[in-house]
Amino acid sequence: MNTQHETGTGAGTAHRVLVLGAGYAGLAAAVQLAARTARRTDVAVTVVDAQERFTERLRLHMTATGQRVAELSVPALLEGTRARFVRGWVTSVDADARTVRLDDERRLRYDTLVYALGGVADTAAVPGAEEHAYTLNGTQDAELLAERLDRLDGGTVVVGGNGPTGIEAAAEIAERHPELDVVLLGRQEPGTALHPRAGAYLRGALDRLGVQVRGGTTVVGIRPGAVETANGGSIAADVVLWAGGTRVSPTAAAAGLAVDARGRVVTDETLRSVSHPEVYAVGDAAAIRQGYGVMHGTCQGGMPSGVHAAVSIVRALRGKQPKPFRFGYYHTPVSLGRHDGVVQFTHPDDSPRRIYLTGRAAARYKEVVTASPWPTYGRMKTMPASGAFWPRGGRSARVRGGAR
Ligand SMILES: Cc1cc2nc3c(=O)[nH]c(=O)nc-3n(C[C@H](O)[C@H](O)[C@H](O)COP(=O)(O)OP(=O)(O)OC[C@H]3O[C@@H](n4cnc5c(N)ncnc54)[C@H](O)[C@@H]3O)c2cc1C
**CATH number for the domain that contains residue 162:** 3.50.50.60
pLDDT at res. 393: 87
**Are both 142 and 169 inside the same structural domain?**
yes
* Residue of 151, 172, 150, 157 lying closest to 59 (CA atoms): 172
C-alpha 24 to ligand 1 mean position (Å): 6
**Are both 291 and 310 inside the same structural domain?**
yes
* Residue of 170, 208, 213, 178 lying closest to 192 (CA atoms): 213
Could you identify the atom of ligand 1 that is nearest to the CA of residue 333?
Answer: 8
- Radius of gyration of the chain from its Cα atoms, rounded to whole angstroms: 21
**Are both 110 and 258 inside the same structural domain?**
yes
Determine which helix (DSSP H) or strand (DSSP E) holds 312, and give its type and residue range: helix 299-317
**Are both 232 and 273 inside the same structural domain?**
no
Going by DSSP bridges, is the β-strand pair 112-115/279-281 parallel, antiparallel, or unpaired? parallel
C-alpha 247 to ligand 1 mean position (Å): 11
**Are both 316 and 227 inside the same structural domain?**
no
**Are both 391 and 278 inside the same structural domain?**
yes
Last residue of a domain, one of 244, 259, 280: 244
- Residue of the CA atom closest to atom 6 of ligand 1: 58
Any domain includes 348: no
pLDDT at res. 401: 62
Any domain includes 209: yes
Domain boundaries, position 388 = 5-118+249-327+372-397
Number of domains in the chain: 2
Model-level pTM? 0.95
Any domain includes 234: yes
C-alpha 299 to ligand 1 mean position (Å): 7
Probe ligand 1: pick from 91, 284, 346, max atoms within 8 Å of CB? 284
Any domain includes 150: yes
pLDDT at res. 12: 66
Could you identify the atom of ligand 1 that is nearest to the CA of residue 25?
Answer: 25
**Are both 131 and 185 inside the same structural domain?**
yes
C-alpha span between 250 and 164 (Å, rounded): 25
Ligand 1 pocket (Cβ < 6 Å) reads 21-26, 48-51, 55, 57-58, 60-61, 89-90, 116-118, 136, 164-165, 168, 249, 283-285, 297-300, 302, 333
Last residue of a domain, one of 244, 273, 292: 244
**Are both 258 and 389 inside the same structural domain?**
yes
Any domain includes 340: no
**Are both 283 and 256 inside the same structural domain?**
yes
125's CB contacts (< 8 A; 6+ apart) are: 244, 245, 247
C-alpha 189 to ligand 1 mean position (Å): 25
Last residue of a domain, one of 227, 244, 261: 244
Any domain includes 355: no
pLDDT at res. 27: 98
Any domain includes 187: yes
- Residue of the CA atom closest to atom 15 of ligand 1: 298
Compute CA distances 135 → 141, 143, 386, whole Å: 6, 10, 34
**Are both 170 and 277 inside the same structural domain?**
no
**Are both 84 and 217 inside the same structural domain?**
no
C-alpha span between 112 and 45 (Å, rounded): 10
**Are both 287 and 323 inside the same structural domain?**
yes
Any domain includes 362: no
- Among the residues of 106-245, which ranges form H helices? 129-132, 139-151, 164-176, 196-208
* Residuewise pLDDT in 10s, the chain (404 residues): 333 335 555 556 899 999 999 999 999 999 999 999 999 999 999 999 999 999 999 999 999 999 999 999 999 999 999 899 999 999 999 999 999 999 998 999 999 999 999 999 999 999 999 999 999 999 999 999 999 999 998 999 999 999 999 999 999 999 999 999 999 999 999 999 999 999 999 999 999 999 999 999 999 999 999 999 999 999 999 999 999 999 999 999 999 999 999 999 999 999 999 999 999 999 999 999 999 999 999 999 999 999 999 999 999 999 999 999 999 999 999 999 999 999 999 999 999 999 999 999 999 999 999 999 999 999 999 999 998 889 888 888 888 765 43
